[in-house]
A and B are shown apart, each in its own frame.
Chain A
């Protein structure tokens, strides 16, 4: 498959505008200006593109919710607050092909009528920020940003907003709060951002990878895009593979590639030949883990949902037989309690409670009934939190308990680990 999103990976120097233009960069934008904004939205709808940030919401549909009144200020925000553990795809795009993102953002802004856009990039990504800053400057110099872009009559300004260490700002309304200068805590929905978003104006928030798909859809046509991968989850997808594999890294493959093909074909198999595969987290730590018997599951939105998990951010974390699932659950849960924003009680108090119980099980102080206590806490957190962060914590833990309950019980009964 021809690479769209990662074509520059491993090609140092290709991130500049000059090499970008030689290689067909901004052709999508030139093509976009030949169409009315409405038709751009229709093309994205027809392509079947679904959001790559985790939820898989149809992108064209999201754009179509923006009011058409040209007198209303509208915004586009790019969610580059990549923080789901195991995920490093957006960083890969921004560092290697910043102009692809910028081009996608200009097209999206043209489609929805946004005169200003912000890239919300996580604070730790200093290198990526510098790359984007330089690329935005180049884009202004070449007339792709600013007033009357390429003579189209469309004007647009793009700015970078740096996060500073808060996973929750990846939640779209928390991201808006953060740009507005408040603590990054989620807002009540409705109203949805499409009607009342940044500064109370209609706003689209899209993930980096989603926006990076847009130029190719416009240039090559929606049919080309929808012909890749499964009918209901079409298009290329970046999988971020980490953990116990020979060749971890970023892989751009059609959605629907099976976990087996990804791990054993593309990634060269397990890191240690003597150790078999135990479990895989298919879509970032919020996605419940799957076990070794589920390796033939295609990695796409619907197939993973049918297995009770999710594609999420496309972060595939591979664990071999030497991995202790109690420890894994503890590390993941500790992350969620650390990142809980404190707004609602079930998450703020529930996630650290889970962490404490997991800690005592891990360190040999587990009590009889602790597994049941974890389950009862999960029931009381899930679906009762203000935003999906608490749900993510529960889904991750439930996945571990469903597949490896005996390991937790062994830790409690024998005060030591089953695997190491």
Chain B
């Protein structure tokens, strides 16, 4: 399941800790990336084998942390819009509605072409440049409806 590059990364991860179990979060992250944004049961079994854990224990970790998308495929671009206080004060709600209209999906859904998934998330720690969102690894800040249109167009 893991590519050679991923296997090498996992070896590096295991060097950081006195036991293998501590590597579970990193290895889950690597597995999610390898699968293109989500995790399936098979991944948990493989990770359990690598780390000498029970599958149910790997599952427990994956289910606890919100950034692991367990059995929940996401689009090529995962748009995560902050819905917490600082962004809300500066109009995040309208921007979320705007994006729902533009993408023609509701929060939590993926476009039929599997390109965009729209999610709302709690504070991403970019409150001085609110409203903001994260698309895959990158932050987009000081958003307006016009700015969002341009960002989405560039990604389309």
Contacts and interface: CB of A to CB of B under 8 A. Distances in A.
Interface stretch (A35-43, A216-224, A328-336, A384-392): A328-336
Interface stretch (A86-94, A256-264, A295-303, A353-361): A86-94
Contacts of A178: 25
Contacts of A243: 85-86, 89-90, 127, 130
A244 B67 contact: no
Contacts of B34: none
Contacts of B24: 181
Nearest to B123: A85
Contact of B127 (A123, A124, A183, A240): A240
B38 to A, nearest CB: 13
Interface stretch (A23-31, A98-106, A158-166, A228-236): A158-166
Contacts, number: 138
B137 interface: yes
Contacts of A123: 29, 65, 67
B85 A331 contact: yes
Interface string A143-175: 000000000000000010111111100000000
A165 to B, nearest CB: 4
B65 A165 contact: yes
Contacts of B84: 85, 285, 331, 335
Interface residues of B, number: 41
A316 B22 CA distance: 35
B124 interface: yes
Nearest to B125: A88
A418 to B, nearest CB: 17
B85 A248 contact: no
Contacts of A165: 65-68
Given A161-B16, A183-B64, A331-B85, A85 B128 contact: no
B3 to A, nearest CB: 20
Interface of B: 16-19, 21-26, 28-29, 51, 53, 60-61, 64-68, 83-86, 88-90, 122-130, 134, 137-139
By Cβ-Cβ distance, the 9 closest A-B pairs, closest first, are A165-B66, A242-B127, A181-B21, A165-B67, A85-B123, A242-B86, A164-B65, A126-B137, A164-B67
Interface of A: 82-88, 90-91, 118, 122-127, 159, 161-167, 178-184, 199, 240-244, 248-250, 281, 285, 315, 317, 319, 323, 327-328, 331-332, 335, 338-339, 341
